[in-house]
Structure 1
Amino acid sequence: MNEPLAERVRPKSLEDYISQSHLVGENGSLTFLIKKGILPSLILWGPPGTGKTTLATIIANEVDRPFYTLSAINSGVKDIREIIEKAKQSGGLFTTKNPILFIDEIHRFSKSQQDSLLGAVEKGWVTLIGATTENPSFEVIPALLSRCQVYILNPFDKNNLIALLERAIKKDKHLQTKNIELKETEALLKLSGGDGRKLLNIFELLVNSEGSDTIIITNELVLSKVQKNTVLYDKTGEQHYDIVSAFIKSIRGSDPNGAVYWLARMIEGGEDVKFIARRMLIAASEDIGNANPTALVMANTTFQAVTTIGYPEARILLSQCAIYLATSAKSNASYEAIGKAQQMVKQTGDLSVPLPLRNAPTKLMKDLGYGDNYKYAHNYENNFVAAEFLPDEISGTSFYIPGNNNREKTIKEFLKNRWKDKYEL
């Protein structure tokens, strides 16, 4: 019994399919098309565990089409082309039996991978069904999106989730051997977060943890037995933030091993490649800054590259960048500087810009003294002349204090040579 409960009780027909009545109910927007066997290429967009894969499989069965499936996590252009070649041999433009190509997590496909689908979809060699948890407006290229209809799946509501549990208890052979009473379900439903798969996984864990064949489900039982043992990665929940926090702190702490481990946890948990790269881009400035300005260039290049490449290859680039950042010299001086400056602004309000620093595009402004006594740095030796660039009320304040690293020691010497004792460094 190694197959998870969610897989064992996966619906095989629309009659068994729970929820999404706006799509496949009596008057659902997909119901008529399925019954007529007229199926456009489509994108199923919804949160995890709302039945996207199940619905795609049922649709293929209902319309009696060959069904091919790919996962964007571990498939590339080569895999796509192989399936398209098979599809060309079994269907085509002038047949209603052209195969269905289902791509799970299509948002993970790079632009080039999505481009490779265009011809097959346009010529009718395949009917594409893509599943995504991300907004297709941002994650699916416009050319492909324009060739597909988008259908939104909603999270399971309370009644749907209870119906899933009751159906599992009734249909699953293992659960049929147990005497299970759903006395209280609030804790189970809360932990599921509207995710049917998560609900069934937690329920199975709970049942298997009980030694007795008589099991009364209560909130206390769920919280005591399940909550402590459930190890899941929720892209929108608390663990999402805990793991990315551990990732960034490993980089900040110069530990490449910790950085790569937490990176792997995010990748395996299905985290968005752009989210990970975006966090490293921030860390490159916040935690490394001018101690190694190349870190920001590296992180930005990584962000652009993984956005183009996508998974699975993007994991290599993410790893390279994470290790580079973790092993780089560190400084939070720029981060501290803007924080101090913002705090000063909040304390002192809108201080006037000194007249020498003001722009004077009109005669009136010149007559009012705008720009008077401004010293143009390039007119002086070493392109520098001592002047005041802060409002009078906060003159001489130092926001930026260079860090104690080789690069910023050079910056500190530069500032000392220019400003002498004007700023405390």
Structure 2
Amino acid sequence: MSYGQPLAYRMRPRSLEDLVGQQHIIGEDQALYQLIQKGHVPSMLLYGPPGVGKTSFANAIAQSTKLPFYSLNATTSGKKDIEQMIANARMEGSIILFLDEIHRFNKLQQDTLLPHVENGSIILIGATTENPFHDVNPAIRSRMGEIKQLKRLTAEDLFTLLNRALHDEERGLGKQRIHITKEQLQRIAESVNGDARKALTLLESAVRASDEDEEGTITVEDSLLDSLIGRIGVFGDKKGSHFYNLLSALQKSVRGSDVDAALYYLAHLLENGDLIAVNRRLLVMAYEDIGLANPDVGPHVLAATEAAIRLGLPEGRIPLAQAVVEMCLAEKSNSAYQSLDRAIAAIHDGKTGDIPDHLKDTHYVGATELGHGGYQYPHDTTIGTFGGWVNQQYLPDELKNSQFYRPIDAGKEVRLNKIYQYLQQLKNKSN
């Protein structure tokens, strides 16, 4: 049998009513839906992961209006393509231009197209999988009106879409006699991480790969579906926005002491295969979020990440899992780096001063003549079991009463806090 165009392409919506999901943007009660129904299409930027319907969204809008619709990809289009779009707009009055991968838009394309977007002769609908505030040029963003963030489709949305494709005789698989259970369709819907394109492709692959009996019925077997689902990728570009969102989610889950969530995001990241980026984030977390409350965690995580590099994947997941669980359940303190940030902020605010003379270098002839010296060696004066301490000024005069370190009572920092407070009392008593 000749299938022609892929099922995912054939099933693209032909009207706003055909769209599945994204009701927070294009539902009948939303302003955008009402605008388009009245014939007004604003320029807009569609942002979301692959397969959530950005291209379908643009096509549905185009089909719901009488305006001519053109499509370009910013990675392959040049100045001549943009000039052709401008010529089309002049001939036809106004056009809708869908520009996929808009974050790849170069300056030459911008300079050529932007005036026509500003005067409304070209209604620009841009699509990107990358965070538009990081990757889309501000000149483009400023002319796009609202940024519409599309969400991953739910399993329920995808089940609806798969059923529609299965029974559509014109564009789908409705002319074929296919035996596939609701449970199998649900498995497909739940296995593609909200990606409609992958769901439809998986359904089409399952049908193509299944045997047809003497009566012409195609039966999809569970074993075949297991094999196809095991081969699909659902994780996206490992250097895209979703990857960095996963890193962020991992750190916030560890910080929030949620072991199960942290392990889930670690698994997601490791399936992307970028071990270096994961290790780097885990090391930062050990010192940023665990810190002085449990100083042993830092060396433990360093050992785990070095072991993971030596082992490689998949074995490298074992020490990393141990490190993540330990960090989740460890006492937590960010006092050390927050204290340093206060000192940095003081410097940036101009709160600087001369180093006290008794702290300056004296390992050269003439230091005494410059007034440098008088430093008291703390090791010569012991206090209890702490070791050496002597009351002398270390900060410049302008900052001598500053307190950057603000300890908290968490884990092993409880002991450090007691020592800090004791030394502060000695200092205040001596002064």
Give 1:150 deviation, angstroms: 1.4
Contact 1:66 1:100 in 2 (8 A): yes
Give 1:36 deviation, angstroms: 1.0
1:249-303 deviation digits (Å, cap 9, x = unpaired): xxxxxxxxxxxxxxxxxxxxxxxxxx9xxx9xx9xxxxxxxxxxxxxxxxxxxxx
Distance 1:369 1:130, change over 3 A: closer
Runs in 1 of length 4+ with deviation above 4 angstroms? Answer: 213-220, 230-233, 361-364
Distance 1:176 1:236, change over 3 A: farther
Report the equivalent of 1:389. Answer: none
Q: Amino acid of the residue matched to residue 109 of structure 1?
A: F
Contact 2:155 2:190 in 1 (8 A): no
**Counterparts of residues 67-146 of structure 1 (less than 5 Å):** 67-91=69-93, 98-146=94-142
Bigger relative contact order, structure 1 or 2, given CA contacts below 8 A and separation 6+?
1
Contact 1:114 1:141 in 2 (8 A): no
Report the equivalent of 1:371. Answer: 361
Distance in 2 (CA, whole Å) between partners of 1:33 and 1:161 is 27
Report the equivalent of 2:50. Answer: 48
Contact 1:121 1:128 in 2 (8 A): yes
Distance 1:198 1:363, change over 3 A: closer
Residues 172-181 or 145-154, more deviating: 172-181
**Counterparts of residues 349-364 of structure 1 (less than 5 Å):** none
Report the equivalent of 2:60. Answer: 58
Contact 1:182 1:218 in 2 (8 A): no
Contact 1:43 1:129 in 2 (8 A): yes
Report the equivalent of 1:177. Answer: 176
Distance in 1 (CA, whole Å) between partners of 2:222 and 2:239 is 21
1:384-424 deviation digits (Å, cap 9, x = unpaired): xxxxxxxxxxxxxxxxxxxxxxxxxxxxxxxxxxxxxxxxx
Give 1:116 deviation, angstroms: 2.5
Contact 1:45 1:135 in 2 (8 A): yes
- Paired residue for 1:223, among 226, 235, 255? 226
Q: Please, which runs of 5 or more residues in structure 1 have no aligned partner?
A: 92-97, 242-274, 283-348, 350-360, 376-425
Q: Secondary structure at the match of 1:43?
A: strand
Distance 1:374 1:27, change over 3 A: farther
Distance in 2 (CA, whole Å) between partners of 1:160 and 1:139 is 29
Give 1:54 deviation, angstroms: 1.4
Q: Amino acid of the residue matched to residue 205 of structure 1?
A: S
Q: Amino acid of the residue matched to residue 153 of structure 1?
A: L
Contact 1:45 1:134 in 2 (8 A): yes
Q: Secondary structure at the match of 1:68?
A: strand
Q: Amino acid of the residue matched to residue 155 of structure 1?
A: R
Report the equivalent of 1:5. Answer: 7
Distance in 1 (CA, whole Å) between partners of 2:239 and 2:218 is 29
Q: Amino acid of the residue matched to residue 85 of structure 1?
A: A
Contact 1:22 1:29 in 2 (8 A): no
Report the equivalent of 1:37. Answer: 39
Q: Secondary structure at the match of 2:112?
A: helix
Distance in 1 (CA, whole Å) between partners of 2:193 and 2:221 is 18
Report the equivalent of 1:19. Answer: 21
Structure with the greater alpha carbon radius of gyration: 2
| 1:204 equivalenced with 2:209 (yes/no) | no
**Counterparts of residues 147-158 of structure 1 (less than 5 Å):** 147-148=143-144, 149-158=146-155
Q: Amino acid of the residue matched to residue 37 of structure 2?
A: K
Distance in 2 (CA, whole Å) between partners of 1:226 and 1:187 is 9
Report the equivalent of 1:188. Answer: 188
Report the equivalent of 2:163. Answer: 166
Distance in 1 (CA, whole Å) between partners of 2:79 and 2:152 is 32
Distance in 1 (CA, whole Å) between partners of 2:64 and 2:141 is 24
Contact 2:69 2:95 in 1 (8 A): yes
Q: RMSD of aligned C-alpha atoms?
A: 3.5
1:203-231 deviation digits (Å, cap 9, x = unpaired): 11111110125455576442124424x47
Give 1:55 deviation, angstroms: 1.6
Distance in 1 (CA, whole Å) between partners of 2:205 and 2:106 is 36
Distance 1:157 1:103, change over 3 A: same
**Counterparts of residues 328-407 of structure 1 (less than 5 Å):** 365-366=356-357, 368-373=358-363
Distance in 2 (CA, whole Å) between partners of 1:167 and 1:363 is 76
Q: Secondary structure at the match of 2:64?
A: helix
Distance in 1 (CA, whole Å) between partners of 2:103 and 2:364 is 54
Q: Amino acid of the residue matched to residue 23 of structure 2?
A: S
**Kindly, what percent of the aligned residue pairs are identical?**
39
Report the equivalent of 1:298. Answer: none
Q: Secondary structure at the match of 1:30?
A: helix
Give 1:141 deviation, angstroms: 1.9
Contact 1:178 1:215 in 2 (8 A): yes
Distance in 2 (CA, whole Å) between partners of 1:363 and 1:139 is 44
